[in-house]
Every structure is written in C-alpha cells, then in structure tokens.
Chains A and B, each alone.
Chain A
Amino acid sequence: MVSKNAIIVFARCGCCMSHVVKRLLLGLGVNPAVHEVEEKDEVGVVRELEFIANDGRKVQFPAVFIGGNLFGGLDRIMATHISGELVHILKQAGALWL
C-alpha cells in the first residue's frame, strides 16, 4: 500500500487531525489515499509502518508517507507547507501535477 501510492495517510478512525491533513492536501490539488486504522489494529499497524520507515522514528497518527517514505505527521506537513517546500516535495513524488 505504501509503495503503491505516491502519497498515503494512515489515521485512526474518526480522527479529526487526519481530516485536517486530508483537507489541506486536497486544497493543494492532491488526492491522497487514506487508510483508516481500527483501534484494535493500531499497535500492529504502527509496528509495520515503523518497519517500512526503517529509520528509527516513531510512527504517530496521522502518519503521512510520500513516495514510499515516512514523511511525518501534521506538524511536518504544516511546517513544510508554510515554508513552501511541500508543493515541491509532492510534485517530485508525483502526487501533484500542475
């Protein structure tokens, strides 16, 4: 799933922060894949994602993967969006065409 999508968001069911991530990305013209995680599956999914990320970072929901790599959470999305870097990163990963 992670490698198949240019950008994918993993989030808890009904999480409002993932809604924020989604809306922000949509506002930029990106249509991210979203995978909602049930509470009972959370621990397993986190472990799997940390394995995929493979850089010692902890995975917290909502978690964004861009171009198959763990990008970060809402904090990083916000920071890169404000600094203007996000659009470039998205274009490079093929998540955004314009």
Chain B
Amino acid sequence: MDSSSSQYVSTRNIGVYDPTHQFTIWEDHFKSNGDLSLYEPNMKFNNQSEDASFGILGTSIKYDQQANKLTEKMQRRLAQNREAARKSRLKKKAHIQQLESCRLKLVQVEQELDNTRQQGLYIGGGLDSNNLGFAGSANSEITTFKMEYEHWVEEQNRQILELNSALSSHISDTQIEELVNGIMNHYFKLFCMKSDAAKIDVFYVITGMWKTTSEQFFLWIGGFRPSELLKVLVPLIEPLTEQQRFDAYNLEKSCRQAEDALSQGMEKLQGMLTDTVAAGELIEGTYTPHMDTAIERLEALASFVNQADHLRQETLQQMSRILTIRQTARWLLVLGEYFQRLRDLSKVWANRGREPA
C-alpha cells in the first residue's frame, strides 16, 4: 500500500505548483506514520492536489486521478453495501429467531391450555411460573416432543388410510409388506421418541400427558396394555386358523404375565420413591440431601417406560410372525382405527359442552 501511495504521490508531484515542497511534506508524513492509517490523511492531500492541478495537468493524468477517484468512490460504496447487507442479514436472522421462539411459546401455551381444560383446573393471574409445571411440563424439549407426537399421529392416520385403500385394491403381497413394515417402524419410532423424552421428564411420559384423556384412562406405564388390545382386537381379524387362534391366545397370556411382572416391579419402585421423598429433609424450601437417590429412582422409572415399550414392540412383532402378511395388515388397520376412535372419543366428549343447545 505504501509503495503504491508513494508512486501516486510522485505522479501527483507533476501537477503541483511547488513539487519539491509538497513532496517533502508527504515524505515526512510517510516517515512519521508508517502504517495504513495513512490512507485517510493521504486523501486530504490528494484532493488538494487534484483541485490545484485541474487546469494545469495533462488529460492522461487528469483521467488517472478521476479513475482513482471513481475507484475510491466505488470502493466506498461497495464497502457500504457490504455493511448494509451484513446488517440486513443479522436483522433477518434475529427476526427469524424471534419468530421461532414465539412459535414455541405458542405451542407451549396451547398445550397448557389443553392440559388445564383436561384437568379442569383454572390457572389465573397471580400464580408464578413454577405452578405452570403443575398443568403440564413447560420444558421446551417436552414441548418439542408433544409437537413431534402430533406429527406422528398425523402420519399414523395417513398410513392407516393408505393401507385401507391398498387392501381394497389389488396390490401384491410385497407391496403390502412394505406398507406393513412402514407402520411397524412408525410405532418403533414412537418408542424411541418416548425413551428420549423420558430422560427429560419421566413423569410427563409415564402419566401420558401427551395423549388424549381417553387414552390416559386406559394407560399402563406410559402406553397401551398389550394383553387388553389382543383380547379385544384379535376377534376382529377373523378368519384365523386354529393354530393362529392358539398362538394369539398364548401371546395374550404371555403379555399378561410380562405385564404383571412389570407392574409388580413398578409398585416396588413407587414404594421406594415414596420413601425417598418422605425421608428427604426440607431445609428452607429446598429439597436435600437425598436428591441422588431420588434421581436414581427416576432413572429406574425411565427404564420401566423403556421395558414396557419393549414389551409392546415384541408383541407387535410376534403378531406379525403368527399372521400372514395380509392378516398382519388387517391387524394393524384394526389397531390404528381403534386408537383413532379412542382419540376422537376424547374430542367428542370435550366438545359436547360447547355445542349450542
């Protein structure tokens, strides 16, 4: 930069009345300020010399100076543009972030409203934010889980519709198998989602707060009870062979045995958790010092959710082994429709009071 400036200076020299004098000044300037901050002061000198030299200089030098002036103006404008673009990008980013957090907040509020309605509680003004946890988890990860679950339900309903129309049309067994695997994997995906959410808030998951009230009524360790479903739904997928009916009956029995074992384990855990909470000392409103034990219990609770889901998963898989592919499709259809009706029942009941008489 310095070298080009000095060259510039020497070019300018020609147009100045007292070249030697000007040159000496510039030279001193360069000597005293060896850095790029020189650029600014240089400009002042340059402008002065431009004015002075306008009438005297040859065209080529005038053009040179004007070209340089243009470049400077252009460069200034480009820099300003860059700055403006950068600011606008930052503004846009901030705006989007704001929108995202508002959206999350909206879902949270909707969820709390839902829970409040479900539990028949009134949360008015004057309550602090701690009490909001009472009506539903205000945790943002749980809100995300609830949102993802809503999407899961929509996808489930779509899959059921697709399977329904596929079964009534003439499609191959391979295509049915594809749809069946899709639905099975969709259930397994929900179990994964629940497992992750249980690590954040196990009580939320295990009490089924994310489900409709009717589903909550039939809840067993954070989900459906496999033996009950088998008992009610298997008759709906007749005709079955004698062997299949026998296998399905045995599956129902095995489920009940597994459920009983898990339930008994849960009871024991509940007792231990109660003891931990009761034994903890309350010092100035804070809960100490048995927090570690309590956390251990809650982690065990989360593993119960996982085991219950594992049982549900194994049951679904065993059914697919007992049945032919088309029967499995019918089974999943019946299962999906059952859940849909249960959810709708909740909404119908909740809305009946709002309908005009």
Q: If the complex has contacts A16-B272, A75-B310, are A82 and B260 also in contact, measured as CB distance less than 8 A?
A: no
Q: How large is the interface on B (under 10, 10 to 19, 20 to 34, 35 or more residues)?
A: 20 to 34
Chain A stretch 1-36: residues in CB contact (< 8 A) with chain B: 14-17, 19-21, 23-24, 27-28
Chain A contact residues, majority secondary structure: helix
Contact with A along B284-315 (1 / 0, CB 8 A): 00000000000000001001100100110011
Q: Say whether A96 faces chain B, with CB atoms less than 8 Å apart.
A: no
Q: B258, A81: Cβ atoms under 8 Å? A: yes
Q: Say whether A79 faces chain B, with CB atoms less than 8 Å apart.
A: yes
- The segment out of B39-47, B162-170, B248-256, B341-349 that lies at the interface is B248-256
Q: Say whether B68 faces chain A, with CB atoms less than 8 Å apart.
A: no
- The segment out of B117-125, B198-206, B261-269 that lies at the interface is B261-269
Q: Say whether B321 faces chain A, with CB atoms less than 8 Å apart.
A: yes
Residues from chain B with a CB closer than 8 A to the CB of A79 are 310, 314
Contact with B along A64-92 (1 / 0, CB 8 A): 00000000001100110111100000000
Expressed in whole angstroms, the Cα–Cα distance for A79 and B321 within the complex equals 13
Q: A81, B264: Cβ atoms under 8 Å? A: no
Residues from chain A with a CB closer than 8 A to the CB of B260 are 23, 27
Q: A20, B251: Cβ atoms under 8 Å? A: no
The listed residue (B254, B264, B314, B321) touching A20 by CB distance below 8 A is: B264
Q: If the complex has contacts A16-B269, A17-B307, A20-B264, are A78 and B318 also in contact, measured as CB distance less than 8 A?
A: no
Closest to B314 in A: A82
Residues from chain A with a CB closer than 8 A to the CB of B268 are 16, 19
Q: B307, A27: Cβ atoms under 8 Å? A: no
Residues from chain A with a CB closer than 8 A to the CB of B307 are 17, 20, 74-75, 78
Residues from chain B with a CB closer than 8 A to the CB of A81 are 254, 257-258
The listed residue (A14, A15, A24, A83) touching B314 by CB distance below 8 A is: A83
Nearest 7 A-B pairs (CB), nearest first? A20-B265, A24-B261, A82-B314, A23-B261, A16-B269, A16-B265, A19-B265
Q: A75-B307, A83-B318 are in contact. List 9 more A-B contacts (CB 8 A).
A: A14-B272, A16-B269, A16-B272, A17-B265, A17-B303, A20-B261, A81-B254, A82-B254, A84-B254
